[in-house]
Amino acid sequence: MATIPITKRGAEKLKAELHKLKTVDRPWVINAIAEARAQGDLSENAEYEAAKDRQGFIEGRIQEVESKLSGSLVIDPSTLEAGGKVVFGATVELEDEVSGSIVKYQIVGEDEADLKLGLVNIGSPIARALIGKEEGDTAEVQTPGGVKHFEIVAVSYL
């Protein structure tokens, strides 16, 4: 199994989700199954079926999160020494060469990506175009609206 890069913040988020699944969601669904069983005939008990389905989802998600955490490589961007290059965890300020608009993105793992917050997945086209480049370089990114050119204004490791 390959290691999956994840930021320290992303790892904390997954650990919090795992804790909630094990301490809140799992006990709740076990209780719901017990209550449904107490109602009698299980063959026509919709609450029982719904609780069992929910239990399957929770157990599957627990396994998925545990697997991601065990196969992850936690990277703290503030400790990176990449010599100004764009690497995983770097925060990059870009200027669209056509419109002149400025955007800021941090390159993160798949589970923590959220474009609204400026967090882009390492596997996204924009992140792939930026990796290895430095301040002052131009990145060509294939977008649904066509090819865009961005100048790298600043690279930081926050």
Is the pLDDT at 153 greater than 90? The verdict is yes
Residue with tokens 């929910």: 54
> Over the stretch 93-136, which tens digit does the pLDDT of each residue have?
999 999 999 999 999 999 899 999 999 999 999 999 999 999 99
Q: Residue 107: its pLDDT value, please? A: 96
Q: What's CA 126's distance to the chain center, in Å?
A: 16
> Over the stretch 18-72, which tens digit does the pLDDT of each residue have?
999 999 999 999 999 999 888 877 777 888 999 999 999 999 999 999 999 999 9
Q: Residue 1: its pLDDT value, please? A: 58
Of 146, 158, 155, 7, the closest CA to residue 94 belongs to: 155
What is this structure's pTM?
0.81
Q: How confident is the model at residue 85 (pLDDT cuts 50, 70, 90)?
A: very high
Q: Residue 41: its pLDDT value, please? A: 76
Burial readout 15-40 (b: 16 or more C-beta within 10 A, e: otherwise): eebbeebeeebeeebeebbeebeeee
Give, in order, the Cα–Cα distances in Å from 40 to each of 28, 36, 49, 52, 67. 20, 8, 13, 15, 37
For the residues 78-89, what does the mean pLDDT come to? 90
For the residues 133-153, what does the mean pLDDT come to? 92
Q: Residue 83: its pLDDT value, please? A: 87
Asked if 109 and 7 count as a contact pair (C-beta separation under 8 A), the reply is: yes
Q: Residue 3: its pLDDT value, please? A: 85
Q: Residue 130, class by beta-carbon neighbours within 10 Å (0-12 exposed, 13-18 middle, 19+ buried)?
A: buried
Dmax over CA atoms of the chain, in Å, equals: 70
Is the pLDDT at 88 greater than 90? The verdict is yes
Q: Residue 7 has which token pair?
A: 């930021």
